[in-house]
Homo-oligomer: A and B are copies of this chain.
């Protein structure tokens, strides 16, 4: 039942890259897209890895996703840019937008891009982490056209799960990598429960009477996920506010899709309505203070957190990105564990597209 097969990451990456190429994606873009997905699997963020492959393959086959987008700069300054993703894969459009931010930050200290008419950009942390080798702090935000979060006191899915990812470099500690949905859970965790046939706990999703839903299928269909903090602490307005903030910086600032536009404005331009919007920021540390000083202070703070007193019954405190880094090390060495049935699917894809696996 739990039979997993460990597969070498390079093999998977090559397979996915070749499939994208067969679907008319230019080789360099296909390589980026494959890398974003495989990095998610390597880091244990399985919800954003290649088990979502059909989410990209099918729209590419159906012509709903542009395999060769022309990413254009609508407006630009030395520090900022508004980009149009031309309906391409967010995996690629996002990485290119962050690349532009890094180039701007190298020259001007900071680079900020907001992007409209893109699609799902994969694991947000991938884009934020692009800044780490450049000794920059990276921020990546995204929304999408599938509202899921119910506002505080509301009953209607109005905002996507709008994740926030921020990465900051360290010296010996594992880099700080925050990647969080602004809902109590990412939508994909409901999908994971659905796949595994598991119930979901109280406090994640409600029905139209505001009562908790525990059935994963009902939760998936109802799409009423509570905002972060929706619990006895009564601070759901914080998660709700962070979700709105992400929508402002992505969809509103870019002139793209935001909120429940997709369902509320059926006559809006479908190229906007059915898209994702993103926001990226790259900030060079050494315009503020020497990078080595910064890294020492990062190490000092993160190790103090890890070494602080544990709660009763707990024997470890994590910093953000630590678990994923350990998974990465393990999976690079031993391969990525996939269900045997999923590996069969990969073999089938290899045959179907006539590409090696």
Contact = CB atoms under 8 A, between A and B. Distances in A.
Interface of A: 74-75, 77-80, 82, 108-110, 112, 114, 137, 150-156, 158, 166, 168, 176, 178, 180, 184-185, 201-204, 206, 209-210, 226, 228-235, 237-242, 244-245, 247-249, 251-255, 258-260, 264, 283, 285, 287-289, 293-294, 297-298, 301-302, 304-305, 308-314, 316-320
Contacts of A209: 312
9 contacts: A80-B287, A137-B248, A158-B304, A176-B248, A178-B241, A178-B244, A178-B245, A229-B239, A244-B319
Contacts of A233: 184-185, 201, 203-204, 226, 228, 230-231
Contact of A318 (B152, B254, B313): B152
A312 B251 CA distance: 29
Contact of A238 (B114, B137, B152, B228): B228
Given A185-B235, A304-B264, A82 B289 contact: yes
B258 A297 contact: yes
Contacts of A234: 201
B312 A155 contact: yes
B255 A289 contact: yes
Given A180-B238, A287-B75, A316 B137 contact: no
A301 B235 contact: no
> Quick one: which of A178, A185, A251, A252 has the most chain B CB within 10 A?
A252
A356 B24 CA distance: 77
A274 B27 CA distance: 55
A240 B317 CA distance: 11
Nearest to A320: B241
Contacts of A230: 233
